[in-house]
Amino acid sequence: MGDRAIVYQERVTDQSPEVYTKSSNGHNRIKMYVEPLDETVMVLIRNGEITAEQNGRERGRILDEKAGWDPKVGRKIWEVFNESLFIDGSHGLQRLDRIKAHCCRAFREWLSAGPLCKEPVVGIKCTFVDATVHADPKHSSYDEISHMMVAGLALCFLNAKPRIFELSRRVKVEIPREMEDVILAVLLRHGYSNREKQQNGIKTVVDCVLSAANASQFIEEIRTTAAGKARINSKNAGYQAVPPEQENQVIQELRGRKGLVFEDPMWAEIDRSKFQDYRGTPLVSSNRAFIEELEWLLVTPVPHVRYLTRETFGFEVYRGHINTLSLYGQGLASLPETIQNLAFLQALYLDLNHLDSLPASISKLSKLVFLTLRGNFFTQLPENVCELVSLVALDVSGNQLSVLPTGIGNLKNLQVLHLNGNPVPSLPGELLHLDSLIELYIDERFAGDDILQHLESKGAKIHYR
* Cα dihedral 195, 201, 202, 203 in deg (nearest 10): -30
Q: Does pLDDT of 125 surpass 70?
A: yes
Residues 173 and 130 in one domain: no
Q: Which residue has the higher pLDDT, 334 or 19?
A: 334
Whether 1 is in a domain gets the answer no
Residues 13 and 45 in one domain: yes
Domain of residue 456 covers 267-464
Residues 391 and 346 in one domain: yes
Short-list 163, 8, 149, CA closest to 86: 149
Residues 460 and 315 in one domain: yes
Whether 68 is in a domain gets the answer yes
Distance CA 214, CA 149 (A): 37
Residues 182 and 198 in one domain: yes
Mean pLDDT across the chain = 84
Q: Any idea what DSSP says for residue 121?
A: B
pLDDT of residue 269: 37
Query: What count of other Cβ atoms lies within 10 Å of the Cβ of residue 186?
Result: 18
Of the candidate ranges 209-223, 291-305, 422-436, the one whose mean pLDDT is the lowest: 209-223
What DSSP element (H or E) covers 200?
Answer: strand 193-200
324 backbone dihedrals φ, ψ, rounded to 5°: -140, 135
Whether 247 is in a domain gets the answer no
Per-residue pLDDT reduced to its tens digit, 388-399: 999 999 999 999
Of the candidate ranges 114-123, 249-258, 322-331, the one whose mean pLDDT is the lowest: 249-258
Last residue of a domain, one of 160, 178, 201: 160
The CATH number covering residue 330 comes to 3.80.10.10
Residues 62 and 185 in one domain: no
Distance CA 180, CA 403 (A): 75
Band of the pLDDT at 108, cuts 50, 70, 90?
very high
pLDDT of residue 89: 93
Residues 287 and 219 in one domain: no
pLDDT of residue 51: 92
Whether 26 is in a domain gets the answer yes
Distance of CA 439 to CAs 139, 436, 462, Å?
22, 9, 6
Whether 253 is in a domain gets the answer no
What one-character-per-residue DSSP string does 271-322 give? -GGGEEEETTEEEEHHHHHHHHHHHHHHTSPPPB-SS--TTS-EEEEETTEE
Q: Which residue has the higher pLDDT, 125 or 158?
A: 125
Per-residue pLDDT reduced to its tens digit, 313-358: 889 888 788 999 999 888 898 999 999 999 999 999 999 899 999 9
Q: Does pLDDT of 2 surpass 70?
A: no
pLDDT of residue 1: 34
Residues 47 and 95 in one domain: yes
Of the candidate ranges 107-111, 139-143, 248-252, 381-385, the one whose mean pLDDT is the lowest: 248-252
The CATH number covering residue 193 comes to 3.30.70.240
Whether 246 is in a domain gets the answer no
Number of domains in the chain: 3
b/e map of 411-448 (b: 16 or more CB within 10 Å)? beebbbbbbbbbebeebeebbeebeebbbbbbeeebee
Residues 149 and 193 in one domain: no
Q: Does pLDDT of 417 surpass 70?
A: yes
Residues 50 and 142 in one domain: yes
Q: Does pLDDT of 297 surpass 90?
A: no
Last residue of a domain, one of 160, 189, 220: 160
Residues 313 and 418 in one domain: yes
Of the candidate ranges 37-46, 130-139, 291-300, 445-454, the one whose mean pLDDT is the lowest: 291-300
pLDDT of residue 151: 83
Whether 262 is in a domain gets the answer no
pLDDT of residue 363: 92
Band of the pLDDT at 232, cuts 50, 70, 90?
confident
pLDDT of residue 260: 67
Whole-model pTM: value is 0.55
Short-list 395, 398, 393, CA closest to 422: 398
The CATH number covering residue 77 comes to 3.30.230.10
Whether 252 is in a domain gets the answer no
Last residue of a domain, one of 123, 142, 160: 160
Residues 156 and 177 in one domain: no
